[in-house]
Amino acid sequence: MDAQFVQKYKKRRYLYGALIEYRLMTKWDTRFLKLATHISEWSKDPSTQVGCVVVGPDREIRSTGFNGLPRGIEDNNERLNNREVKYPLICHAEENAIMHAARIGMSLKGCTAYVTWPPCTRCARSFIQAGILSVVYPENTDIPERWMDDFNLSLNMLKEAGIRVKTA
């Protein structure tokens, strides 16, 4: 793709108060976001399904994750339908992808994370510590108002840490 074409369509905008850069989505962005969406469907959470695919610099899939309870913890309806019970137990998709990679000895340093939602502060911390270089999530994600402050802080954390955030 020629540099002038990319520069012409390169845009900057503020999303939730943080400066976010977005460019034309590549075929690889499309593929990995579709895969993250497919993986999100594995979540048994009745209110929100989130998926994450972490990809290395050569477009190789390093890890995947979806939001759910930890291995060996029963994910019954009583737990999943009660937020007071669910929230302390649930692992976010991003955390699951990072922890799975650690479990199998896979480094995520220098990788890109494709997620179906903007990462929360908890997951932003994990991305920063894991060495993720960029995060891509869908541009028109419908975020409940109760999460807006957390996502704003998260996006600012990622920016301050030098992690590229891209909507596609």
Supply the residues annotated as catalytic. 94
Angle (CA) 123 129 132, round 5° = 80
Predicted confidence (pLDDT) per residue in 32-55, tens digit: 999 999 999 999 999 999 999 999
**pLDDT score recorded for residue 140:** 85
Least confident among 19-28, 65-74, 146-155? 19-28
**pLDDT score recorded for residue 10:** 42
Predicted confidence (pLDDT) per residue in 117-168, tens digit: 999 999 999 999 999 999 999 988 888 899 899 999 999 999 999 999 999 8
Q: Contact at 8 Å (CB) between 78 and 122?
A: no
Can you tell me the mean pLDDT for 87-105? Answer: 97
What average pLDDT is seen over the chain? 88
9 band by pLDDT with thresholds 50, 70 and 90: very low
Residue 23 has pLDDT above 90, yes or no: no
What separation, in Å, do the N-terminal and C-terminal C-alpha atoms of the chain show? 17
Locate the DSSP E strands across the chain: 11-15, 18-22, 51-55, 61-66, 112-115, 134-137, 164-167
Q: Report the distance separating Cα 122 and Cα 150, nearest Å.
A: 9
